[in-house]
Structure 1
C-alpha cells in the first residue's frame, strides 16, 4: 500500500491508502523522503480557485487529467530508489532522486522521469528545484540589463529565489515590495538593495532619471498588484507576470499612463521556454542553472515549517490562513 494526498473539495484534502501500482520492467519504485508545497498553484487548488477544464500539466506525465476535484497534485518530491524493474540498470538502486510528481509516500517512474540529486545537497534543498527553475525562467524572460532599476513585487519563495538570482546582476537598484516583515528581512539577506512595504511604494515610479523602474516582476499572486507594477515602471518599462491568478480576475487600470508609456506586459510560465530563447536554451540547460542557484541559497531560512505527511491538512490550513504564517512548507515522509 501507499499513501497519497487528494484534493477532494475546496479547503478539503485527505491522505488515502491505495494499492501501489505494479512495477513495469523499465520502471523503478521510489520511496518519498520530502516534498515541497507550492503556496501558489497548490493554494489555488486548495481554495477551489483553479480554472476548470484545462489540463493539469501537459508537460508532466505524472500529472494526468485536468484541474477538477478530486485530484492528486504536487510537483516537488525527493526520495530514494528502492526497487528496480527487471530492465533497469542496477546503478539506480539506492539513488536519491527528484521527481515532478504528486505528494505520495511511494511512486513509480522511469529513470528518464527522474533527476538525480547532486551529491552533498540536502533533500529539502533539492525539493525546491521547481521553485529555483521558475525563478531562473523569470530572469531569462525579464532580461535584466546592466545598470537597470528592477522591482520585485511579492516575496514568497519564488519571489525570494528570483531576488537571489537578480542580486547577481550589476543592477543600479533591486527593490522588493512585500507586506510581510519576515519575508522582507529574508529578501534583504538574499541581496535586495531595499525592501519596502506596499504602503510605502507609491513613489517608486517617480525615482530616477528617467523616472520609474526599467523592469518589474509581479509575483504576489494577487491580481490587484498588477496595478502597482504599472505604477512603478517608467516609460518603455517591462513587466513580467509570474503569478497565476486562476479564476481571480485582474481589473487592471489600462486607461492611464499605460498606453502613452508604451509599457510591455508579458507572462512567464516555466512549462515552456520563450520562443526566442529556444535556439540556445533547453529545459535541461535551465535545470542545470537552477541546481547551481540552489547551492547559493540558505534553504533553512526559506523552509519555515516541516509537517509530517499524515498531517498535511494542517499544512494547507497554515498557508491558507495568511502569508505571515509561513514562507516555505515541506511535507516529511519519514
Structure 2
C-alpha cells in the first residue's frame, strides 16, 4: 500500500515522499500516530555530520542502507495495528504499539519487534521510550555505587532521562552540567541535587591542583562517575578533568564526523581514569551472561512509567511540517527538548 515517508535529502533539507510499504504474512501493519525526533543521531544526519558510509542500524529490521543522502531514518514510532498478516494472531488488531521505525505514515513490523503500549502510558510518553532505554543502558554501563558523586554533562532528553533514573540511587551527589539555564532547572526537577554551568563545576567538585593531587599532596577531589552526554566533542576533556582518582567516564555522546581531541597529558594517567563507550544497540560484554535486550527493555518500560518524561515533551509538530521540527532542534531555541511529529 502507499504511504508517506520522511527523507533526509541533503544537509539541512528534508522532504516527504510517497513510498510503498511491503506487508508480509508474518507482519503487523501499523498506522503511525506519533513519532519522536531524536536530537542526537537524527540531528547529525540532518546537519550532514554523520558518516555516510556507516550502516543505518543493522539491528533494526525497519532500517536499511547507510547514512548517505537520501535516506529514511527514525526509531520512535507509536501507532495502531490496522491489519495483520495471515500467519499473525488477530489479537494484535487495534492494539497500540511502539516500533523502532522511521518517520512515515505506515510501517510493517514483525510482532516480536513491536512493543505493546502498556496500560496507563500515553502514546506520546511511549514515543520517548528509546531515550529511556538508552538512559537505562547508560546506567547499567556506569554501575553507580552507593555514596558516589556522579556528574552528568548535558541536559538534553537523554541526559535528563539518565538523571531521572540515577536519582533513584543512593548516591552521594548527582550533579548536572549544562550551559542552558532552563535545562539546568529541568535537571533539578528530574532529580539532580545541583545543576551548574560548566564554568562552575570545579568549585562544586572542589578540584584543586594539577597532576592529580591537591595542593597539600592529597588526592584531588573529583567525581567517581562521569557521563558525557552533551554531544559536543570539546566536552570530553572537561568530563575527564572532572573525574577523581580511579574515576570512570562513560561516553554516551555520538559525535559523528566531528573530531574529538583528548588531552591525556595532565592527570589522566596518574589518576588512573577510565574512559568507556556506551551504545544502546548492544549490551556490554560483561552483562550478557545475565542481561538480554528483552530484560533491559522491561526495565526501561518500568523506568518510563516512573520518570516524568512527559514533562520533556515541548513541541508537537504535524508530520507535513517536519522540516520545522529539525530547524527547532538545530537552533536549540524556544526551550526545545523533545519534539514529536503528529500524524492525522
Shorter-chain TM range is over 0.9
Q: Report deviation, 1:309.
A: 0.3
Q: How does 1:281-320 map to 2 (within 5 A)?
A: 281-320=291-330
Q: Report deviation, 1:52.
A: 2.6
In the other structure, the counterpart of 1:229 is 239
In the other structure, the counterpart of 1:31 is 31
- CA change 1:323–1:135 in 2 (3 A) is farther
Which runs of 5 or more residues in structure 1 are unaligned?
none
- CA change 1:323–1:137 in 2 (3 A) is farther
In the other structure, the counterpart of 2:213 is none
Range with bigger deviation, 263-272 or 181-190 = 181-190
Secondary structure of the corresponding residue to residue 62 of structure 2: coil
Q: 1:82 and 2:92 equivalent?
A: no
State how far apart, in whole Å, the 1-side matches of 2:304 and 2:109 are. Answer: 24
Q: Deviations over 1:55-100 (max 9, x none)?
A: 1111111111111111000000000000111121110000100000
Q: 1:217 and 2:227 equivalent?
A: yes
In the other structure, the counterpart of 1:151 is 151
Secondary structure of the corresponding residue to residue 80 of structure 1: strand
In the other structure, the counterpart of 2:337 is 327
Q: How does 1:44-193 map to 2 (within 5 A)?
A: 44-193=44-193
Q: Report deviation, 1:205.
A: 4.5
Q: Report deviation, 1:273.
A: 0.5
State how far apart, in whole Å, the 1-side matches of 2:23 and 2:278 are. Answer: 37
Q: Deviations over 1:180-211 (max 9, x none)?
A: 12211111111110000112123344359861
Q: Report deviation, 1:242.
A: 0.1
Moved over 6 A (4+): none
Are the counterparts in 2 of residues 180 and 323 from structure 1 also a CA contact under 8 Å? no
In the other structure, the counterpart of 1:43 is 43
State how far apart, in whole Å, the 1-side matches of 2:207 and 2:265 are. Answer: 22
- CA change 1:43–1:154 in 2 (3 A) is same
Are the counterparts in 2 of residues 147 and 171 from structure 1 also a CA contact under 8 Å? yes
State how far apart, in whole Å, the 1-side matches of 2:309 and 2:284 are. Answer: 28
State how far apart, in whole Å, the 1-side matches of 2:259 and 2:207 are. Answer: 30
Aligned length: 333
Secondary structure of the corresponding residue to residue 269 of structure 2: helix
Q: Report deviation, 1:333.
A: 0.8
Secondary structure of the corresponding residue to residue 260 of structure 1: coil
State how far apart, in whole Å, the 1-side matches of 2:110 and 2:286 are. Answer: 31
In the other structure, the counterpart of 2:282 is 272
Range with bigger deviation, 208-217 or 289-298 = 208-217
Which runs of 5 or more residues in structure 2 are unaligned?
209-218
State how far apart, in whole Å, the 2-side matches of 1:147 and 1:264 are. Answer: 19
State how far apart, in whole Å, the 2-side matches of 1:23 and 1:61 are. Answer: 13
State how far apart, in whole Å, the 1-side matches of 2:32 and 2:206 are. Answer: 50
In the other structure, the counterpart of 1:3 is 4
Range with bigger deviation, 5-14 or 316-325 = 316-325
Secondary structure of the corresponding residue to residue 130 of structure 1: helix
Q: Deviations over 1:257-288 (max 9, x none)?
A: 11211110000000010000011100000000
In the other structure, the counterpart of 2:212 is none
TM-score between the two structures when normalised by the length of structure 2: 0.94
Q: Deviations over 1:24-60 (max 9, x none)?
A: 2112211001000000100000000001311111111
The RMSD of aligned alpha carbons is 1.4
- CA change 1:323–1:238 in 2 (3 A) is farther
Are the counterparts in 1 of residues 30 and 80 from structure 2 also a CA contact under 8 Å? yes
In the other structure, the counterpart of 1:242 is 252
